[in-house]
Amino acid sequence: MLVTDLRHFEGIELDPGAPTPALRLATHLRRIVRAATVFAGRGIQPTALPCRRRPGRVPCPGRLRVERQDLPSRILWECPACDEAGVIDGWQGSLDDLSVLSESDEGGGLVQVVIPEKAYQLLLAEIALGQGCERLLYRARPRPEGVELSGNEDDFEQLIGVVAFQAYHSATRARQRRWRAICNCLRPPARSWLENSTDVVIDELASFGLVSLRVHVTELIRDRLATVMKALEITEQSARRYLEEEDLRELAREAAVKLADEQPGANLYEQPRTIPASLQTIGRNIAALAEAAQVRVLNADTVGAHGALQLMSLLGQFLREIPAEPSGPVLLPQAMLTRSARLLEATAQMVREGFVVAPDIPVDAVPALAEAFARDAGMLRALVGGSAAGPSPAS
């Protein structure tokens, strides 16, 4: 455990005799303070900041987790891959305290861009940051394909301007090309027809209370597009004309009909309660849904998080109706159990595909988390007499 006071490093970069390791440590700690203070919320926050350790001269693959505490006022940090951890004091009111940015996040709509890991590290190391740039870089999240920057349009415009300036003033053509490539990465790509169509189908499924994993909805649209192309012997561009918004919503309704056992659009509280479940099973289901909701929130899946919270609320209502001394199992609606199973199956698939999980889960425990979701889903399907099959195309 590395216990440090940030005030001890004030002005260290101005000392020509400062040891290089001390300068590197100061930079490391300042980045941690910025990442911990740029978030408005409390609790452990996953970051895209790389670990500084090189065990066996190989860079540690871990990404730091940070937590800002109020009483006592300090910042905790750790690397889940190598278990290096520390505590930072004396950061309040310093130039690295970005809490003012966490309280004023005004601007345009939310923009999300994924850039390569090397590009992110170069941005951290070699450019002078303004407030908008700091907000983007220190709120960054790790993703399987790189690092996700999330912020408003003004922040991105500021960062793009800084990078373009760096490219223009670089001394060599190689560095100019490198910065121009980063500049291109930072420009949000225009949304494709397929992305917009996926939004429409997800929205329609959500109106029936069905949680949809984006990748599966996209595949559903691809299949329908291929069917139209083959039937009419036309190109993909021409086939898109036959899948306008209302056609896509009809596709979502067809998928909902195939999931009739979940009673799409129905009030689950009013559904017949025919499946007996023990209190232990209900408790395990609530815990699984809570973990699934956390995964969905961390990956900005508001539809999935909302679906999990609704199911948890419903189970809470059922438990409230149980007499003080229950005489047997609790009866639950079949549709509720089926919806819960599909949501947990889809969440297990998200974890397997490398989506972000709760920061307190060690890296080597992530596969076990996916299997736990799958087992809980299988338990629910067994209750309703079904099989623990994988998620359907609309899940």
Question: For 180-197, what is each residue's pLDDT tens digit?
Answer: 999 888 887 777 888 889
pLDDT of residue 186: 87
Query: Is 223 found in the same domain as 279?
Result: no
- What confidence tier does 230 reach under pLDDT thresholds 50, 70, 90? confident
Instruction: Tell me, yes or no, whether 3 and 71 share the same domain.
Output: yes
Which range, of 88-92, 119-123, 189-193, 288-292, averages the lowest pLDDT?
A: 189-193
What is the pTM assigned to this prediction? 0.56
228 and 145, same domain (yes or no): no
Q: What is the CATH number of the domain that holds 379?
A: 1.20.1270
Residue 140 has pLDDT above 80, yes or no: yes
Residue that wins the pLDDT comparison between 189 and 87: 87
Q: Is 356 left (phi over 0), alpha (psi -120 to 50) or beta?
A: beta
The 10s digit of each residue's pLDDT in 260-285 is 666 666 688 888 888 898 899 999 99
Look at phi and psi of residue 212 and say left if phi exceeds 0, alpha if psi is from -120 to 50, else beta.
beta
Is the pLDDT at 299 greater than 90? The verdict is: no
**Residue 226 and residue 129 share a domain:** no
Residue 102 has what pLDDT? 61
Ranges 133-147, 284-298, 379-393: which has the least confidence: 379-393
Statement: residue 231 has pLDDT above 60: yes
* Domain membership flag for residue 231: yes
* pLDDT given for residue 391 in this prediction: 42
> Can you say whether the dihedral through the CA atoms of 216, 217, 219, 224 is positive or negative?
positive
Cβ 52 vs Cβ 24: under 8 Å: yes
Residue 317 to residue 312: CA distance in whole angstroms: 9
Domain assignment present for residue 238? The answer is yes
Residues 152 and 223 in one domain: no
Round the average pLDDT of the chain to a whole number and report it: 85
pLDDT digits (tens, 9 = 90+) for 309-352: 999 999 999 998 888 777 778 889 988 898 899 899 989 988 98
Residue 309 domain-assigned (yes or no): yes
pLDDT at 77: 94
Q: Give the residue-averaged pLDDT of 103-109.
A: 51
Look at residue 132 and tell me whether its pLDDT is greater than 90.
no
- How far apart (Å, rounded) are the C-alpha atoms in residues 39 and 393? 36
Instruction: Tell me whether residue 394 is in a domain.
Output: no
Q: What tens digit of pLDDT does each residue of 110-120 get?
A: 788 899 999 99
DSSP 72: T
Do 185 and 227 fall into the same domain? no
Q: Indicate whether 298 belongs to any domain.
A: yes
Domain end: 102, 129, 155, which one?
102
The enclosing H or E element of 252 equals helix 245-258
Does residue 393 sit within a domain? no
Q: Give the SS3 label for residue 77.
A: strand
pLDDT on residue 100? 74
Same domain flag for 67 and 119: no
Residue 108, pLDDT score: 46
Is there a single domain that holds both residue 240 and residue 278? Answer: no
Q: Are residues 169 and 228 in the same domain?
A: no
Do both 250 and 169 map to the same domain?
no
| Domains in the chain, number | 4
Asked which of 137, 165, 189 is the last residue of a domain, the reply is 189
Q: Does one domain contain both 96 and 112?
A: no
Residue burial 157-189, b: 16+ Cβ < 10 Å; e: rest: bbbbebbeebbeeeeeeeeeebbbebbebbeee
pLDDT confidence bin for 223, thresholds 50/70/90: confident
Say which residues have a Cβ less than 8 Å from residue 17's Cβ, sequence separation at least 6: none
Which pLDDT tens digit goes with each residue over 49-61? 999 988 888 889 8
Residue ending a domain, choose from 167, 189, 211: 189
- For the record, the structure tokens of 375 come out as 């087992």
**115 within some domain:** yes
Question: 374 is in which domain, residue-wise?
Answer: 267-383
- How much of the chain, in percent, has pLDDT values that exceed 90? 26
Q: What's the confidence (pLDDT) of residue 258?
A: 67
Q: How far apart are CA 196 and CA 192, in angstroms?
A: 6
- In this structure, the strands spanning 273-277 and 330-333 are antiparallel
Residue 28's pLDDT is 93
Let me know if residue 389 belongs to a domain: no
* Contact (CB, 8 A) for 277 and 376: no
Q: What is the pLDDT of residues 12-62, one digit of tens each?
A: 888 888 899 999 999 999 999 999 998 776 778 889 999 998 888 888 988
Whether 273 and 320 share a structural domain: yes
